[in-house]
Chains A and B, each alone.
Chain A
Amino acid sequence: NAGVMQNPRHLVRRRGQEARLRCSPMKGHSHVYWYRQLPEEGLKFMVYLQKENIIDESGMPKERFSAEFPKEGPSILRIQQVVRGDSAAYFCASSPNRGQPQHFGDGTRLSIL
């Protein structure tokens, strides 16, 4: 029973490039959450999606960041025109229903040169 799978585990981008982070939720889970953890800080909520719908994006920066969770395939967090401040660990979590515990992947560590 595979857990939440995130790839890549490490991603290096130069300033101005695009970063695409992928998250495959646990089997049977239709709710996906993205969090960001800056160095030496706690996790901050970014966005909550439920199959094809964005439910809560209150933690997403207004520009350059977008997320999707298509009917088929993984959830994607996309960061356009990356800047040094985007360097962080990005974690994805999934749950089978609202209110249930969230199961986290091991994150994608994004480094911006």
Chain B
Amino acid sequence: DAKTTQPNSMESNEEEPVHLPCNHSTISGTDYIHWYRQLPSQGPEYVIHGLTSNVNNRMASLAIAEDRKSSTLILHRATLRDAAVYYCILRDPNFGNEKLTFGTGTRLTIIP
């Protein structure tokens, strides 16, 4: 599996934008970039995914570098409820490998 690298932790002020980086220099051409987050005492929650183009949904935006070796999850206006561990995961749906490989993620702390 292609590997991702994320900072262990980040802090952000409430109501400020948050940019969570992810490096994936060994990404293959068919790997999608998925983001999940895990709030305390809950299961992971799907956030967003993309292949090449930037993506937006009601939760967040995903900015993908032109060479696809890195990406950034953007929370436009952080709230206290966004405090969670954020996981960047590569997934190739053509490979038949359905499992998600979770790394250690980035623990995001929101400062009121």
Which A positions have Cβ atoms within 8 angstroms of B? 4, 31, 33, 35, 42-45, 48, 55-56, 58-59, 91, 93, 98-99, 101-107
Q: Is the CB of B42 within 8 A of A45?
A: no
A56 to B96, CA, bound (A): 10
Q: Is the CB of A103 within 8 A of B99?
A: no
Task: Report if B112 contacts A (CB, 8 A).
Answer: no
Residues of B with C-beta under 8 A to A103: 46
Q: Is the CB of B100 within 8 A of A45?
A: yes
Min CB–CB distance A95 → chain B (angstroms): 8
Residue of B43, B44, B87 with highest tally of chain A CB at under 10 A = B43
Residues of B with C-beta under 8 A to A44: 102
A40 to B64, CA, bound (A): 29
Which B positions have Cβ atoms within 8 angstroms of A? 34, 41-46, 49, 87, 91, 93, 96-105
Residues of B with C-beta under 8 A to A102: 44, 46, 100
Min CB–CB distance A47 → chain B (angstroms): 9
Residues of A with C-beta under 8 A to B42: 106-107
Residues of B with C-beta under 8 A to A93: 43-44, 100
